[in-house]
Amino acid sequence: MKRDELLQWIKSRISPRYYDTLTVWTLKRKNKFLFWERIFDVEPTPFGDGLIVRSGRLFDYIIVY
């Protein structure tokens, strides 16, 4: 997902505190690579109700609840 799609989709699924944190985290990773926009992947955590958001880079992810 692109950044705007991700934030719109995830807003109702996580708490406002984590939403603010995710907004800043994605803003720092918004930069483009040549002509392509950064794509974010979302997957559920193995345990609990959280979501893992990956930025496409190795070991660059955030867990939100």
Q: How many structural domains is the chain composed of?
A: 1
d(CA 36, CA 2): 10
Residue 51 bridge partners (DSSP): 44, 64
Structure-token pair, residue 10: 């995830």
**Confidence band of 63 (pLDDT split at 50, 70, 90):** very high
Q: Is pLDDT larger for residue 55 or for residue 32?
A: 55
Specify the pLDDT at position 38.
85
| 8-50: pLDDT as tens digits | 999 999 999 999 999 999 998 877 666 777 889 999 999 888 9
Specify the pLDDT at position 33.
63
Q: Which range of residues forms the domain containing residue 34?
A: 3-64
d(CA 48, CA 62): 15
Specify the pLDDT at position 32.
65
